[in-house]
Structure formats: structure tokens, C-alpha cells
Amino acid sequence: MLSKKIEEALNKQIRIEAESSQVYLAMACWAEVQGFEGVAQFMFAHSDEERMHMLKLVKFVNERGGHAQVSDLDAPPTEFGSFKKMFETLFNHEVMVSQSINDLVHITLEERDYATHNFLQWYVSEQIEEEALARNILDKINLIGDDKGGLYLFDNDVKQLVAATDSTSK
Ligand code: FEO
């Protein structure tokens, strides 16, 4: 059974994951209308992953005697300036999510809720991967700068990354 404090904290995280899904969906649209198919595919897939992160929390809250809340969400931006800026935004967003997961883990220890603590370990590992991936992409884009030919190759690289991730997850 979840304490009220844990239930509220998990519901806050549900909202963060839902908003993450919206942010990456907006990034996918921005990339797609500019013809960057690889980056768009990457962002669409990432948006789906965030929805999965949200649903996992929703199921857990309901199974543990709480009530998962589906709340209103802040609208994401529609413009992201440049790919470099967009991937910087993505990286900073993931750092914020990791911090939020850390805070949540801390609350479970304070409340001595070891079941939720255990459940959250999946998110702890996932955030290490998400930050590493975002950092990796950001390193690549920093090498390219604003070079158009470089961006074209980068887009192809990202497309292959999505295809590789797809085939390993099946
Ligand atoms: Fe669900 Fe990207 O954190």
C-alpha cells in the first residue's frame, strides 16, 4: 500500500514523463517539417518511450492501492532554434528527469517504502542510459556545428541508430 506522500510523488513523476513525451513529440514535428527524417524518427521513438515510462508508473500506482492521476500538461515549444540547441534542450531535460527520479528515490527511503524503492531502480538505470545517449548525440552535433553537409550525414547516422535500437529491442 502506498503512503499519500509516495502516491503524490509518483503522480508528480507521471506528469513529468507525460510532459517529456510531449516535448519529444514537438521536437519530432519540428525535425520532420524540415526534412530531417532520421532525427524525426529518433524523436518519435523517444516520445513513445516516455509514454511507456509514464504507463509503467500508472500501472504501479494503481496496483499498489493508489490512484494514478492524468493531469493537464504544459504545452511544449514549437520551435527549437537549431539541432544543436534542440539536443542541448533534450540533454538538460533528461538531467532534470534524473534529478526528479533521485528525489523520488530519496522519499521512498524516508518513508521506508522498499517496494517502491525497488521498482524505481529500473528508472535509475534507464536515466543513466538516456543521459549517456543524449550526451553522445550532443558530442556528435558539436563536432558538426552548422555545416549543412554534416547535418545531412548526422541525420543519416541518427536514422541508423534508430534502426539498430529497433532491431535489438525486438
Ligand atoms: Fe522518462 Fe527520458 O525520461
Residue 101 near ligand 1, beta carbon < 6 Å: no
**Spatial contact of 137 and 144, defined as CB atoms under 8 Å apart:** no
Q: Structurally, how many domains does the chain consist of?
A: 1
Taking the model in full, what pTM does it have? 0.93
Residue 12 CA to ligand 1 centre (angstroms): 13
Rounded to 10 degrees, the C-alpha dihedral 140/142/146/148 comes to: -10
- Looking at ligand 1, which residue's alpha carbon is closest to its atom 1? 50
Residue 149 CA to ligand 1 centre (angstroms): 31
Cα of 140 vs its chain's centroid, Å: 19
Residue 35 CA to ligand 1 centre (angstroms): 25
Among the listed residues 1, 42, 2, 3, the one whose alpha carbon sits nearest the alpha carbon of residue 25 = 42
Q: pLDDT grade, residue 167 (50/70/90)?
A: low
Residue 168 pLDDT:
64
Give, as one character, the DSSP assignment of residue 157.
H
Residue 41 near ligand 1, beta carbon < 6 Å: no
| Alpha-carbon distance values, 105 to 51, 96, 101, 118, 145 (Å) | 20, 14, 6, 9, 38
Range of the domain at 144: 4-168
Q: Phi/psi at 61 (nearest 5 deg)?
A: -60, -45
What is the domain-level CATH number for residue 95? Answer: 1.20.1260.10
| pLDDT 10s digits, 91-120 | 999 999 999 999 999 999 999 999 999 999
| pLDDT 10s digits, 118-154 | 999 999 999 999 999 999 999 988 888 778 888 888 8
Residue 19 near ligand 1, beta carbon < 6 Å: no
Cell 504544459: give the residue.
74
| Alpha-carbon distance values, 73 to 25, 62, 127 (Å) | 13, 21, 22
Position in ligand 1 atom list of the atom nearest CA 53: 1
Helix (H, G, I), strand (E, B) or coil at 22: helix
